A and B are shown apart, each in its own frame.
Chain A
Amino acid sequence: MTGLLKDIGLSHDLAVLIAKTIGVFVVGGFGLLWTLLGIWLERKWAGRFQDRIGPNRVGPFGLIQTVADTIKILLKEDIMKQGIDRWVFNLAPILSVVAVILIWAVVPFSPAWIGTDLNIGVLYLLAVGAFGTIAVIMAGWGSNNKFALLAAFRAVAQLVSYEVPMVLALLVPVLLSGSMSTQEIVRQQHIWYVFAVPLTVLIFLISSQAETGRGPFDLLEAESELVSGFHIEYSGIKFGMFYVAEFLHAFTAGVLTAILFLGGWRGPFAEDVPVLGFLYLMIKGLFVYWVLVWVRMTLPRVRIDHLLDFNWKFLVPVGLINLLVVALVWKLIPGTDQINSTADALVPTLVLLLVNVAMILVIGALLAERGRRERARIQARVAGTDLPAEALASAAD
């Protein structure tokens, strides 16, 4: 691309600038266009999980339902009530979409296709994640609404808390590949990291589900408690932007999992045919996204104190120990700094897999023991009263 522009007589700087600008439009446009299809796909899946059909009226199989919804939402009245903080209120939805689109800059679609191969790729992911949190704060504050403000508090508590286990999980592929560049992490996965560090994948999936604010962690917009949360005052396309940001963030979480743990564009002949790499990445990303939708549609919402307890008392310690153990084992296995083929990666992967299984067994045993203690505690209290055990259990929280 840059070469072509230089051939028609542009200077190097200008050619790079034009090529990058086009890249921005292509990557951002792809993300936004994909939303049109993706929302339909998610609603179809959600329908199946809940034993219904899902959208099926507009177009064949309801395919252009999202287009119809988009037109509807564009035509809706844009309500700006008195007392809002005008600039903050209007900037928040834009910022929330931008925060997600920015992630796509470091997504390696194929060996050659990547927006920018930053050598701080993983750190960049965390950095742009911060903008999403700011968007939530701005929406909650700018709305001048108590429910929106309360929801923003809860959202920030959740987003900031779950960033910790997410960082701890992100550090593991960085450790294994010896690089923070997303492209390099994909290149180093001669054997997918999911086989070496399944516990890390689990931590990453849980925390990214919480970061995207989807069920069972959808307290950001608990409609039964906070009347839809921090975006309660938004109508029309501004609400639509929050919706798109949430959807795209969830799908991006799937793609990131595919990049970091499922080998990204890796697959047969992907090195020679770039389109194949893109296809592989999309298929893997969609699979992870499907799992996330499955979880979202299956589990009930958790309470805010349980949510934070689960993070700080379970996920963070597990993430810390996991990181320490993986780092130690990785250092103890000889030859892990020179992995250039599948054969090189075989032994370290097997060792790490064994260690991971052992860790998962220990954690499972600890959890079972805790569950037993909790049940015994409730049983002991039931013995003195004539209440059913369930009533005491819910009163004990």
Chain B
Amino acid sequence: MELTVESVVFLILSAITLGGGLLVVTTRNLFHAGLYLMLSLLGVAGLFVLLAAPFLAGVQVVVYIGAIAILIILAVMLTPSVTQMPAIFNRNWALNLALAVLFFVLLVSVISPALDDLGVDNWSANFTEDSPAAVPADSIVQLGKDLVDPDQYMLPFEVASVLLMAAMIGAVLLVAPGKAGDEGGDE
């Protein structure tokens, strides 16, 4: 393999992502695990940048690091008694390992064209190798248009919106004191 700048950066980012992920599941301190999770997610954001998908990279940082990981850490901080993990916390680790390996094999089989060569049809995702320069500069504009285009992704987009809305209302209802609506707010 030719060692270009891209491949060096890719190797560094992969090391960050995988190393961070490995540390998440091996460290005994849950707070540290949360921080390593952030590191791993940051590596994924870097990979998105390398793939010329800056919008996804930004969303990755905002949503996963800025919101989800911070919430996880906050929850960990609120329960200091579970911060230090006992020797073996998860008794189903063998099953989990098997599932993880299965999932990994599934992903690889979709990405790589190996199964196509073996004669399995409609399985490989048929990724093509585009150079980053071939990605249109206004990919964000295109993404925005496609998301609300009835012929493209409008239905999944709206379904996701409704799902999130339902989750939000559910969360509000769960913590509402007594009867809802006695403190209606300003609007």
Whether chains A and B associate is yes
Asked if A378 CB lies within 8 Å of chain B CBs, one says no
Asked if A138 CB lies within 8 Å of chain B CBs, one says yes
- Point out the residues of chain A lying under 8 angstroms from B185, CB to CB: 313-314, 317
Asked if B22 CB lies within 8 Å of chain A CBs, one says no
Which listed residue (B54, B55, B59, B74) contacts A156, Cβ 8 A?
B74
B70 and A130 form a contact (CB under 8 A): yes
What is the distance, in angstroms, from A315's C-beta to the closest C-beta of chain B? 10
B61-69, B95-103, B104-112, B155-163 - the one binding chain A: B61-69
Asked if A137 CB lies within 8 Å of chain B CBs, one says yes
**Tally of contact residues, A, Cβ under 8 A:** 35
A127 and B186 form a contact (CB under 8 A): no
- Point out the residues of chain A lying under 8 angstroms from B31, CB to CB: 85, 88, 141
- Tell me whether A137 and B74 are in contact in the complex, defined as CB-CB below 8 angstroms, given that A180-B140, A367-B186 are known contacts: yes
- Point out the residues of chain B lying under 8 angstroms from A156, CB to CB: 70, 74
Q: For the complex, what is the distance from the CA of A153 to the CA of B77, rounded to whole Å?
A: 9
Q: For the complex, what is the distance from the CA of A370 to the CA of B138, rounded to whole Å?
A: 46
Asked if B50 CB lies within 8 Å of chain A CBs, one says no
- Interface flags for B113-143 (1: CB within 8 Å of A; 0: not) read 0000000000000000000000001101000
Q: For the complex, what is the distance from the CA of A313 to the CA of B185, rounded to whole Å?
A: 5
A152 and B186 form a contact (CB under 8 A): no
In chain A between 113 and 168, which residues have their CB closer than 8 angstroms to a CB of chain B?
Answer: 118-120, 123-124, 126-131, 133-134, 137-138, 140-141, 149, 152-153, 156, 160, 163
Q: How large, as a class, is the contact surface on chain B?
A: 20 to 34
- Tell me whether A130 and B58 are in contact in the complex, defined as CB-CB below 8 angstroms, given that A156-B70, A317-B187 are known contacts: no
B70 and A160 form a contact (CB under 8 A): yes
A124 and B58 form a contact (CB under 8 A): yes
Q: For the complex, what is the distance from the CA of A152 to the CA of B31, rounded to whole Å?
A: 14
Asked if B35 CB lies within 8 Å of chain A CBs, one says yes
Asked if B5 CB lies within 8 Å of chain A CBs, one says yes
A134 and B70 form a contact (CB under 8 A): yes
Which listed residue (A120, A149, A314) contacts B77, Cβ 8 A?
A149
Q: For the complex, what is the distance from the CA of A137 to the CA of B31, rounded to whole Å?
A: 10
Asked if B18 CB lies within 8 Å of chain A CBs, one says no
- Interface flags for B8-49 (1: CB within 8 Å of A; 0: not) read 000000000000000000000001100100100000000000
A134 and B186 form a contact (CB under 8 A): no
- Point out the residues of chain A lying under 8 angstroms from B70, CB to CB: 130, 133-134, 137, 156, 160
- Tell me whether A153 and B65 are in contact in the complex, defined as CB-CB below 8 angstroms, given that A138-B35, A141-B31, A321-B187 are known contacts: no
In chain B between 52 and 84, which residues have their CB closer than 8 angstroms to a CB of chain A?
Answer: 54-55, 57-59, 61-62, 65-67, 70, 73-74, 77-78
- Point out the residues of chain B lying under 8 angstroms from A67, CB to CB: none
A366 and B65 form a contact (CB under 8 A): no
Asked if A13 CB lies within 8 Å of chain B CBs, one says yes
- Point out the residues of chain B lying under 8 angstroms from A317, CB to CB: 185-187
- Point out the residues of chain A lying under 8 angstroms from B35, CB to CB: 88, 134, 138
Q: For the complex, what is the distance from the CA of A88 to the CA of B185, rounded to whole Å?
A: 40
In chain B between 133 and 179, which residues have their CB closer than 8 angstroms to a CB of chain A?
Answer: 137-138, 140
Q: For the complex, what is the distance from the CA of A382 to the CA of B90, rounded to whole Å?
A: 59
What is the distance, in angstroms, from A122's C-beta to the closest C-beta of chain B? 9
Given contacts A130-B62, A131-B65, A317-B187, list 10 more A-B pairs with CB under 8 A: A13-B5, A119-B54, A119-B137, A127-B66, A130-B61, A134-B70, A137-B77, A141-B77, A317-B185, A318-B187
A-B contact pairs, 6 of them (CB 8 A): A118-B54, A123-B62, A134-B38, A141-B73, A156-B70, A317-B185
Interface residue ranges, B against A (CB under 8 Å): 5, 31-32, 35, 38, 54-55, 57-59, 61-62, 65-67, 70, 73-74, 77-78, 137-138, 140, 185-187
A-B pairs, 9 with minimum CB distance: A130-B66, A123-B58, A127-B61, A313-B185, A317-B187, A120-B58, A120-B54, A127-B58, A127-B62
Interface residue ranges, A against B (CB under 8 Å): 13, 85, 88, 118-120, 123-124, 126-131, 133-134, 137-138, 140-141, 149, 152-153, 156, 160, 163, 180, 313-314, 317-318, 321, 366-367, 370
